[in-house]
């Protein structure tokens, strides 16, 4: 999945995966919940570099860490609870 992708950043925005209203509104993506929602996308990101910021309390960090450990690339995943500045994100990407 990550072939040719150097780094991915996600502004989680403290999204709550259990919030049905969010999935039918701001987060609407046809079929995503039937396919395993963001947890499946996390598994497909591994072993590429992934930065998730603004993770808050609802980001499925344990799932993400398991995926990256299983891929033997645990250090490729960075999770920050707070939102990062644009400069900090650019620095991480580079």
pTM of the full structure: 0.81
Instruction: Kindly tell me if the per-residue pLDDT of 1 is higher than 80.
Output: no
What confidence tens digit (pLDDT) does each residue in 49-70 have?
999 999 988 899 999 999 999 9
21 in a domain, yes or no? Answer: yes
**Under 8 Å CB-to-CB from 71, ≥6 apart: which residues?**
46, 47
In a domain, 2, yes or no: no
Asked if residue 35 is part of any domain, the answer here is yes
Is 1 inside any structural domain? no
Q: Containing domain of residue 19, as a range?
A: 7-93
Q: Which of 40, 33, 65 is nearest to 52 (CA)?
A: 65
- Whether 2 has a pLDDT exceeding 70, the answer reads no
According to DSSP, residue 41 is labeled: H
d(CA 39, CA 49) in angstroms, rounded, equals 16
The number of distinct structural domains making up the chain is 1
- pLDDT, position 4: 66
As a whole number of angstroms, the distance between CA 62 and CA 52 comes to 13
Q: Domain for residue 75, yes or no? A: yes
Lowest mean pLDDT among 1-5, 29-33, 42-46: 1-5
Q: Is 32 inside any structural domain?
A: yes
Question: Using CA atoms, how far apart are residues 93 and 43, in angstroms rounded to an integer?
Answer: 20
pLDDT for residue 82: 95
What is the predicted pLDDT for the residue at 66? Answer: 94
Within a domain: 89: yes
| Domain membership flag for residue 65 | yes
């Amino acid at each position: 999945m990550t072939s040719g992708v150097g780094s991915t950043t996600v502004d989680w925005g403290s999204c709550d995966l259990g919030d049905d209203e969010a999935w039918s509104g701001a987060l609407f993506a046809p079929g995503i919940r039937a396919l395993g929602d963001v947890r499946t996308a996390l598994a497909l990101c591994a072993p590429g570099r992934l930065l998730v910021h603004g993770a808050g309390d609802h980001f499925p960090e344990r799932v993400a860490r398991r995926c990256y450990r299983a891929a033997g690339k645990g250090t490729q995943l960075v999770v920050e609870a707070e939102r990062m500045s644009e400069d900090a994100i650019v620095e991480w990407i580079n």
